[in-house]
A and B are shown apart, each in its own frame.
Chain A
Amino acid sequence: MPQDLRQSDEFTRPLRRILQAVIILCLLGVFLVWRIDSPRVERFRSHVIDQVMPSFTWAMTPVMAITELALNFQSYQSLYEQNQELRRELQQMKSWKEAALQLEQENARLLDLNKVRLDPDLTRVTGVVLADSGSPFRQSVLLNVGARDGILDGWATMDGLGLVGRISGVGAKSSRVILLTDASSRIPATIEPSGQSVLIVGDNTLAPPIDFIENPELVRPGDRIVSSGDGKVFPPGLLIGQVAKDPGGRLRVRLAADYERLKFLRVLRSTSRRDVDGPGTLIAPKQASGRLTGAAAGVLND
């Protein structure tokens, strides 16, 4: 029997070797094509995901429900402590509620005085989170809205409170949101009272660091961070979070969006989309004078 095996091995070995070589070369080719023509392969990827994910959802819902039930069951053990804590928080909340009501009335009066209209360009599409990236190195989620709902690459995504990320990769029925915590996420922002332009640089942690601060001494923990609209990446004025200082003394963002529970996300339709129509135009604007005012940017675009 072993002789049989050896003989047949001798017979099939060259064939197997050729098959191995072909498959290895094909895979290497796929990788190189991805490096050379990334947008095309990424489009193919979102097409694959688009075909596969919606057929997974029927299975995902019950599995999610059961797993969440199991996770919740663990938390029943600490029910008493939670109850006490909730009571304490409720007391604090009641006082905050009073303050909020007063502020709301004041705000309504001021808006009325100002005749403020909120930006009518900003309408939104709400999507449900289908899946996450599935890999610990990438922070992204998949939404169930896509090109058929008019979603375009680069649009801002928020949960109820704050900015969550931006759309990157749109299929017909699904789209991927790169979260602010992803290592490839860079968002231009403004720190509110001091008005400094900064960049929020994702680094795969829950609190992304703040980069390119001109005067760090003007920034205090607790300052609000909103998106700045520089480079026309995002509409300006979306809340991102608050400044916090980590033990190493580095300034980071405490994100306003609740990353623990991303379930429904709003995709903001923005009309002032900037296309990448040539190499380098997105990175280096025609006039390298730092920040442009809205009017100047408009003139340049014309």
Chain B
Amino acid sequence: MAKMSLEDLRKLREATQQQIKKRDTEGKTVQVIVGMGTCGIAAGAKDTLDAFVKALDEKGMGGDVIIRQTGCMGLCQNEPTVEIVMKDMPNIIYGRVDAKIAKEIVEKHIIKRELLNDQILDRPAGDILKK
């Protein structure tokens, strides 16, 4: 590393902060949960996950959102499925989320707090999943 000036130090801190904040779990209000069962992965969930990471980093929100993987959500015909959990918004499951829609979810749902009506799925068989 070359010798830094005050400016360089500040720039470096800003550039690296987002990545390191991902290691914290406290104080995060948004969760993106990607279904990564065999069905999800076969339908391209890995690309979806990458797209979320990229889109969030581009918006500078990489440190504020937890991206989690989970198993099959039971909606295999609509994979890849993604659930968004955030404060003051209903928990929404989106189906058939490819890289393009992932980007849209970040821009609309997470930032503008608008639902993507065409992609919403209900929880699977809510009536039989009694707690």
A binds B: no
Which residues of B line the A interface, CB within 8 A?
Answer: none
